[in-house]
Amino acid sequence: MVMQVATLDILTEKARFDPQVARAIGEAIELEVNRSRDALATSQELSDVRHALGGDITELRHEFSALRHEFSTLRQEMKADLGTLRQEVKADFGTLRQEVKADLGTLRQEFKADIADLRSEFKSDIARLEVKLESNKAELVRWVFLAIMGQSTLLAGLMYFFLQHMR
C-alpha cells in the first residue's frame, strides 16, 4: 500500500501525532478506502445490470401485452357466450310460459268439467230429496186422515154410548 505523503504531513504536523501513529492511522484509512472501493460497483457493472434489467423489462412488457391480448379475447368470448346464454334463457322462458299457459288452460277445463259434474250430481240429489219429501208428505197426510177418522169414530161411539145410557 502506498500512502500519500500529504496524508502523513497532515497527521504529523497539523494533528501533532507521532510519525508511527500517523503512519498507522494513514494505513488504516487507506485500507478502509480500498475495501470500500472493492464493494462499490463499477460503471461497467452498472451498465451490465441496466442492460439485463432492460431486457427483462422488455420481456415482461411483451408477456403483459400477450396477457392483455388473451384477456381481451376472453372478454369477447365471454360476451358472445353471455349473449348466447341470454337467448337460450329467453327461449326457455318463452317455452316455459307457453307450457304453463297450456297447463292452466287444461286445468281450467278440468275444473269446469268437475264443477259441471258436481252441479248435475247436486241437482239429481235435490230432485231425489224432493221426490222423497213428496212421498213422505203423501204418507203423512194418509196417516193424519186415518188418525182423524179413528178419533171421529171413537168420539161418535162415545157419543152414542152416552146418549143410550144417559137417557
Per-residue pLDDT of the chain (167 residues; tens, 9 = 90+): 456 777 777 778 888 888 888 888 888 888 888 777 766 767 777 788 888 888 889 999 999 999 999 999 999 999 999 999 999 999 999 999 999 999 999 999 999 999 999 999 999 999 999 999 999 999 999 999 999 999 999 999 999 999 998 86
Residue whose C-alpha is closest to residue 8's, from 34, 37, 33, 30: 30
Q: 3-state SS of the chain: helix, strand, coil percent to 5?
A: 90, 0, 10
Radius of gyration of the chain (CA): 64
| Residue in the block written with cell 408477456 | 63
Helix (H, G, I), strand (E, B) or coil at 91: helix
> Cell 269446469 appears where?
112
C-alpha dihedral sign at 90, 95, 96, 101? positive
Q: Contact, 8 vs 19, CB < 8 A?
A: yes
Provide the pLDDT for residue 140: 94
CA–CA distance, 100 with 94 (Å, rounded to integer)? 10
121/117 Cα distance (integer angstroms):
6
